[in-house]
């Protein structure tokens, strides 16, 4: 069985798109009918996220941690208990490609770190900030980016690495670093595709949204200095 793990905190605006994409990926023909279970970990949700999830043939787990590391760890543990041999992680503000699971599994690695593509830029993220982002982001094989929105790991490798730590951010980075120390075979690939949002009000402080906001602020300060 393959598990898709999606943590969510108040994601009512984006969950439908996320889950529809995950369901399409779970039904890909090249999976040869292997069972895929989608699990949404609803962490401290006070909006309609739970009601949205209930409309889909997916699993849900309610926790009250307000911590993405704990949410991913709890979800991974449940999927392992249900027999998952591979866990594919994404985020509730992201949409995986139809062949996302096939692309991850086809790499034959212990773990897969994929790239993300920003679907729509925040209005504050002007052209200069976008240029700066693309200059530093390597959307190619051999990149060194780590995204919880596009991460896959075998059950054995997950256990070797000790699983996700209860971190407020960078729980994905910590897991990959442990895998590297263990000598795991990690594929740094552009093949598994995920579209993600460029929102600045990210649910996890210190995550991708904060990175984008800081980048936009840097470019704005440069523009202000030029105006002076």
Kindly write down the DSSP assignment for every residue of 84-144, as one continuous string: -SEEEE--TTEEE-TTHHHHHHHT--SEEE---EESS--TTS-HHHHHHHHHH---STT--
What is the pTM assigned to this prediction? 0.88
Determine the topology of domain 2-227 in CATH.
Answer: Spore Coat Polysaccharide Biosynthesis Protein SpsA; Chain A (3.90.550)
Residue 218: its pLDDT value, please? 55
Q: Exposure of 70 by Cβ count < 10 A (0-12 exposed, 13-18 middle, 19+ buried)?
A: buried
Residue 224: its pLDDT value, please? 47
Distance CA 83, CA 35 (A): 10
> Which residue stretches of the chain have pLDDT < 50?
223-224
* Secondary structure of residue 151 in the 3-state scheme: strand
Query: Which two three-digit tokens encode residue 28?
Result: 């890909």
Residue 133: its pLDDT value, please? 83
Q: Which residues pair with 62 in a beta bridge?
A: 42
CA 111, 23, 110 angle in degrees (round to 5)?
A: 10
Question: Which of 91, 95, 75, 77 has its CA nearest to residue 195?
Answer: 95
Q: Give pLDDT tens digits for 148-204.
A: 999 999 999 999 999 999 999 999 999 999 999 999 999 999 999 999 986 656 566
């Amino acid at each position: 069985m393959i598990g898709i793990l999606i943590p969510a905190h108040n994601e009512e605006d984006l969950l439908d798109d996320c889950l529809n994409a995950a369901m399409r990926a779970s039904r890909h023909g090249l999976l040869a009918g292997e069972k895929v279970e989608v699990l949404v970990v609803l962490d401290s949700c006070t909006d309609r996220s739970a009601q949205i999830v209930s409309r889909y043939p997916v699993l849900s787990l309610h926790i009250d941690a307000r911590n993405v590391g704990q949410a991913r760890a709890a979800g991974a543990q449940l999927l392992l208990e249900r027999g998952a041999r591979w866990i594919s992680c994404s985020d509730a503000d992201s949409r995986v490609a139809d062949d996302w699971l096939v692309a991850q599994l086809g790499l034959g690695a212990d773990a897969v770190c994929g790239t993300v593509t920003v679907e729509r830029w925040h209005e504050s993220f002007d052209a200069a900030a976008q240029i700066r982002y693309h200059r530093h982001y390597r959307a190619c094989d051999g990149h060194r980016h780590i995204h919880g929105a596009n991460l896959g790991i075998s059950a054995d490798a997950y256990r070797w690495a000790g699983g996700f730590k209860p971190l407020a951010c960078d729980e994905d980075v910590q897991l990959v670093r442990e895998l590297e120390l263990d000598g795991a075979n990690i594929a740094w690939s552009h093949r598994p595709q995920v579209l993600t949002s460029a929102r600045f009000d990210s649910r996890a402080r210190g995550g991708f949204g904060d990175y984008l906001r800081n980048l936009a602020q840097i470019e704005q300060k440069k523009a202000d200095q030029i105006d002076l």
